Chain A
Amino acid sequence: ILNVEQSPQSLHVQEGDSTNFTCSFPSSNFYALHWYRWETAKSPEALFVMTLNGDEKKKGRISATLNTKEGYSYLYIKGSQPEDSATYLCAFPPSGTYKYIFGTGTRLKVLA
C-alpha cells in the first residue's frame, strides 16, 4: 500500500519565525510531488509541482526541496506571517497516474 506521510501534524509558530515541514513518499516509481496550501473556508491552492531530484522551487517566502532517492520533500516558510496559517498538503501520483495520494497535511498556525 502506497503511503504519503507528513510531519508534524500541526505546528504553532510566532510571527517572524521560519519553519519547515516534511512530506515522505515512496521513492520507487517517482513521477512528481505536489504541494498545496488549504486555507480554512477556501479551496486548496497549488504551490509547487516538483519533478526533478534535487529540485528547489520558490514562491515568495515559501520554498520547497525534493529528494526522490530517499523519498522526501521539505517545505520551508521564511519569516512566517499570520496569513500563512493554513493546512499544507503534499500529493504523490504514483508513476504518473491520476490516482493522487494525499498526505494528511501539516496544520500551521502563525501567532501574531
Chain B
Amino acid sequence: GAGVSQSPSNKVTEKGKDVELRCDPISGHTALYWYRQSLGQGLEFLIYFQGNSAPDKSGLPSDRFSAERTGGSVSTLTIQRTQQEDSAVYLCASSKKGTSGANEQFFGPGTRLTVL
C-alpha cells in the first residue's frame, strides 16, 4: 500500500525566500509528525498533529516556521524568510494514533532543503 510521501524531495532556495514542504500521510493515520535533521544532529521534533489540531507548537524553532493540516490528511510545513541554518532534511511521519507513545511511526522519504 501507499506509504508516507513528501514533496519536493529536494529544494534549493535563496536566503530570505519562503518555502513550503508537503506531507501526505498514510490514509487513516490520525497522527502526523514533522521532524528535521540538521547536519551532524539527531532527529529534532518540530510539531505534532492529531487530526487537524496541533496541541503543541513549542518544537518549532522560530516564528518563521508554521504548519497546518487540512482534512485530517495532507500537511504543509512553511518556512518564511529562510536562513542558512534552516538547511536540513525535513521528515514527516504518521501513525495510527498519537496519544499513545507506543504506536510505531511510518516515515516519508524526507525533503532535503538547502538554503544558499
- Listed in ascending order, the chain A residues whose CB lies under 8 Å from chain B are 4, 31-32, 34, 36, 42-46, 49, 51, 89, 91, 93-105
Q: How far is the CB of A49 from chain B (nearest CB, A)?
A: 5
Give 16 pairs: A residue, B residue, CB < 8 Å, sorted on A.
A4-B42, A43-B107, A43-B109, A49-B103, A49-B104, A89-B43, A94-B101, A95-B101, A96-B102, A97-B101, A98-B50, A98-B98, A98-B99, A99-B59, A100-B43, A102-B42
Q: How far is the CB of B64 from chain A (nearest CB, A)?
A: 21
- Listed in ascending order, the chain B residues whose CB lies under 8 Å from chain A are 3-4, 31, 33, 35, 41-45, 48, 50, 55-56, 59, 91, 93, 98-110
Contact across chains for A99 and B42 when beta carbons are under 8 A apart? no
Contact across chains for B104 and A104 when beta carbons are under 8 A apart? no
Contact across chains for B33 and A31 when beta carbons are under 8 A apart? no
* Residue of A95, A100, A101, A104 contacting most chain B CB atoms (<10 Å): A100
